[in-house]
């Protein structure tokens, strides 16, 4: 996966499964790529409600166009003043 995989899907919804049947829906708001040869890192930023805050771990995701896969999620909260 690289940034271009996600560029066309900004503002679309992804389902992240917290169990086999339960999921939280988040919206992709940004995709960034940092390349430090030979490593390519892609950072995806999702938005959701505070109730939808996930723990640090790998989650199965589903997307209407991209299908399904696994992503490591590290939550952060951006405070607006």
Q: What is the mean pLDDT of each run of 10 residues along the chain (81 residues)?
A: 90 96 95 87 89 88 96 76 44
The pLDDT of residue 78 = 63
pLDDT at 36: 84
> Does 80 fall in a domain?
no
29 inside domain: yes
Q: How many domains does the chain have?
A: 1
3-state SS of the chain is CCHHHHHCCCCCEEEEECCCCCEEEEEEEEEEEEEECCEEEEEEEEECCHHHCCCCEEEEEEECCCEEEEEEECCCCCCCC
Q: What is the pLDDT of residue 40?
A: 82
Query: Which domain range does residue 48 map to?
Result: 3-73
């Amino acid at each position: 996966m690289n940034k271009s995989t996600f560029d066309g899907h900004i503002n679309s919804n992804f389902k992240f499964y917290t169990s086999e049947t339960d999921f939280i829906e988040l919206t992709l708001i940004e995709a960034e790529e940092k390349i430090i040869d030979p490593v390519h890192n892609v950072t995806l930023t999702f938005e959701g409600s505070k109730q939808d805050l996930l723990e640090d771990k790998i989650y199965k995701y589903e997307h209407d166009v991209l299908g399904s896969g696994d992503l490591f999620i590290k939550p952060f909260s951006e405070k607006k003043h």
